[in-house]
Amino acid sequence: DARVTQTPRHKVTEMGQEVTMRCQPILGHNTVFWYRQTMMQGLELLAYFRNRAPLDDSGMPKDRFSAEMPDATLATLKIQPSEPRDSAVYFCASGYSQPQHFGDGTRLSIL
């Protein structure tokens, strides 16, 4: 069964540190999404890519967040510098003209 793989599954770091989260989309899927989930806000779309090109990153704080797809098998989401309010679960999802499939997320805690 094909799955979206996210690493790391958990990350605890101090405020001000750089955080990098990685996602391996399902092979053949050309659209990759990054979401953030918190109790207060629910699931928020941060950015998404099609064929490795960014289509929409309007949900992302531009000053500290960046998202890239170096190749078709890897998407990255970076936060620099990190802040306590960035603590959340970050999900990657992938799709191809169909409902997207999610990874199990990176649980991020910024102290």
CB of 35 to other proteins, least distance (A): 8
Provide the total of helices (H) and of strands (E) in the chain, helices listed first.
0, 11
The three-state secondary structure class of 24 is strand
Residue 99 is a binding residue for other proteins (CB under 8 A): yes
Q: Which of residues 28-57 bind other proteins (CB under 8 A)?
A: 31, 33, 42-43, 45, 48, 50, 55-56
CA distances from 36 to 1, 25, 28, 97, 107 (A): 25, 17, 24, 22, 10
CB of 108 to other proteins, least distance (A): 14
Q: Which residues is 4 bridged to in the sheet? A: none
According to CB under 8 A, which one of 25, 95, 108, 110 is a site residue for other proteins?
A: 95
Tally the residues of the chain: 111
According to CB under 8 A, which one of 91, 94, 108, 110 is a site residue for other proteins?
A: 91
Q: Are 94 and 31 in contact (CB under 8 A)?
A: yes
Q: Which residues are near other proteins by CB under 8 A?
A: 4, 31, 33, 42-43, 45, 48, 50, 55-56, 91, 93, 95, 97-105, 107
